[in-house]
Structure 1
Amino acid sequence: MAVTDHEPTDDEVVRLLADWLPDRRWFPVKGADARLTAVGGLTLADPRGEARVRILLVRAEAPGVDTVLQVPVTMRPDRTAADDGPTPGGARPGQAGPAWIGSVGSPPMHVRDGVGDPAFLRAWMSAAEGPRPPVDAEHARVLTGEQSNTSVIIPASDPAGAPDEGPAASAESRPPGAGDATHGAAILKVFRALAPGDNPDVDVPRALARGGWVHVPRPLGWLEAQWPEDGSLVHGHLAVLSEFVDGAQDGFELACAMAERGESFADLARDLGSVVAGMHAALASALPTTDPGRADERAAATADAVRARYRWASGRSSRSTPTASRRSPPAPPG
């Protein structure tokens, strides 16, 4: 597991981030000035050597907020700006765009948000643990609108599919509305707000897939790191690469849409209940709690993760007062 270090350029990049971060949807400080400090970082090697790749861990502090954020960046010399083609998520390295952060150093280096940059994706795949299928980093697509993570859909470089890492879910084995596993494509979820301890988004699907349960996207790669926290080192997951399931629908949204059309959700509800029951059985088998000490440890880790997410959510200012709709749950009596 990699341990973060500190480089002189980290502080320069953090100063640039003071102007760039407030416009990110996943930035937890809204309506107030945040104090930003570099906690540390990891340098990843781009196999093609096209850019310097650095994962920065930045502490954001404000009233009610104290969160460590992950900001992967790529840095390219100024002289390459005229020759580089467009990269996913923004304009050319030397131009303004959603991924453009600024320039640091002398001679200047162009700094971009690395998520979606092929150089970062190649470097991440090289550094991650797990089977790591061959993917086409040049044609990755960043998803927009996420609140606490950033996800990137990465097509397979080999359309034949992902490596055989346990049974995959076929179209027949998935319930209606669950979508289909796109041949070899993957989705990289970069955790922006970090919390110490194992991330359930990594460990739970990994355990279920290892046990042969087919109703979960298979984790294909993951990256962990250690960073300083309150005078000691803590560890946590930075990101996870999973099998990409295309066409999946949110169950609640699907049920509402069917209700609006006057269609019955009963059969799908039965299928969903069957899958949930199977998941509980698979969880009991994959993650047994017969060891009280281990059970307490997992419970504490889960509680810590929930607290960290609550702190992140409570530190955000309200965007607007929600209005009632037919989809809103009824108010409790009294």
Structure 2
Amino acid sequence: MAVIHDTTLKPTKLELLTEWLPSRPWYRGGPEAPVLTRSGGFRLDDPEGEVGIEFMVATDTSTPEPTAYLVPLTYRGAPLEAAEHALVGTMEHGVLGRRWVYDGAHDPVLVAELLSLIEGRVPAHSQSIDGALDPEVIRSCTTATFTLDGFAPEPADDQEGTRVPVPRGMVLHLHRILNPVPENPPLCPEGAYGHVARGWQDPQGAPLTAVFVTLRSA
């Protein structure tokens, strides 16, 4: 089980994202740097206990209409091989030392655990409470179990988000721009074989819910 340490991070996660987000094709901000707040999310466990996995909601309030971004991140104690292009940055952790922070769509550990979550084989964990599960995460799946031996993700970004091809002719769609859905959303979005949804808070503290990820045919 991952341990959440109450310690310092230099730079902070939001400071790293302030530099990184404007480089993404799905970024909706203006010419000025984003002004980010941490608005919610959840974590997954790496079975090997080596990689931190977090799905963060970061809200940019620099524009008249705030934008909530889904940012899946992985935290590693050493560089991920052949993933320099996916590096968000490095930070110094007060307990663990230097950590390499990656866009999680490129990390095979995150992709494998995300599929396991969709399939219902692993639970989601609280973003900030050590050892606690997150009962607010909603998931569904209508397809068979995936086998990912030797799988290396090759995601593609565009203005709509990130698509990660996975085995059996499927694609994970990471909805980088979170669009709120009505209360009691359908179990699975139309045309999808699975999904993950969760709530977060807008800058005024109002609760919102969105679909974070869908699993669809390629």
Q: Greater helix percent: which structure?
A: 1
Q: Are 2:71 and 1:85 aligned?
A: no
State the SS of the aligned residue for 1:188: strand
Tell me what 2:67 maps to.
67
In the alignment, is the contact (CA less than 8 A) between 1:196 and 1:236 conserved in 2? yes
1:134 aligned residue: 146
Q: Please tell me the residue identity of whatever aligns with 2:152.
A: H
Where does the alignment leave 5 or more consecutive residues of structure 1 unmatched? 1-6, 92-96, 156-183, 206-218, 245-334
Partner amino acid, structure 2, of 1:231: G
Q: Which residue of 1 aligns with 2:98?
A: 108
Cα distance in 2 for partners of 1:99, 1:13 equals 15
Most deviating of 16-25 and 134-143 = 134-143
In 2, distance between residues paired with 1:74 and 1:15? 16
> Aligned pair 1:194/2:168, yes or no?
no
Cα distance in structure 2, aligned partners of 1:224 and 1:9: 30
CA deviations on 1:197-239 (whole Å, 9 max, x unpaired) are 1689x5222xxxxxxxxxxxxx222101111233332221101
Deviations 1:34-88 (CA, angstroms, capped at 9, x unpaired): 211111221112334341100110001223341110000000114xx3xx533xx
TM-score (norm 2): 0.74
CA distance in 2, matches of 1:98, 1:29: 22
Shift of 1:9: 7.2
Cα deviation 1:14-52 (Å, max 9, x = unaligned): 111111111111111131232111112211123343411
Runs of 4+ in 1 over 3 A off after TM superposition: 7-11, 47-50
Q: How does 1:137-216 map to 2 (within 5 A)?
A: 138-144=151-157, 146-155=158-167, 184-197=168-181, 203-205=189-191
Q: Which residue of the partner structure matches residue 24 of structure 1?
A: 24
What residue ranges of structure 2 are gaps of 5+ in the alignment? 1-5, 119-139
Give me the whole-angstrom Cα distance separating, in 2, the residues matched to 1:98 and 1:238: 23
Superposed CA RMSD in Å reads: 2.4
- Look up the equivalent residue of 1:130 and give its one-letter code: C
Query: What is the 5 A alignment of 1:220-231?
Result: 220-229=193-202, 230-231=204-205
Q: SS state of the match for residue 115, structure 1? A: helix
Rg bigger for which structure? 1
* C-alpha contact 1:46 1:122 (8 A) present in aligned 2: no
1:281-317 CA distance string (max 9 Å, x none): xxxxxxxxxxxxxxxxxxxxxxxxxxxxxxxxxxxxx
Looking at structure 2, the residues matched to 135 and 142 of structure 1 have their Cα atoms a distance apart, in angstroms, of 18
Structure number with the bigger relative contact order (C-alpha 8 A, sep ≥ 6) is 2
Greater percentage in strand: 2
Q: Which residue of 1 aligns with 2:132?
A: none
Conserved? CA contact 1:53–1:75, under 8 Å: yes
**Aligned residues of 1:42 and 1:56 also touching (Cα < 8 A):** yes
1:142, 1:152 within 8 Å by CA — same for their partners in 2?
A: yes
2:76 counterpart residue number: 76
The 1-side partners of 2:47 and 2:197 are apart by: 20
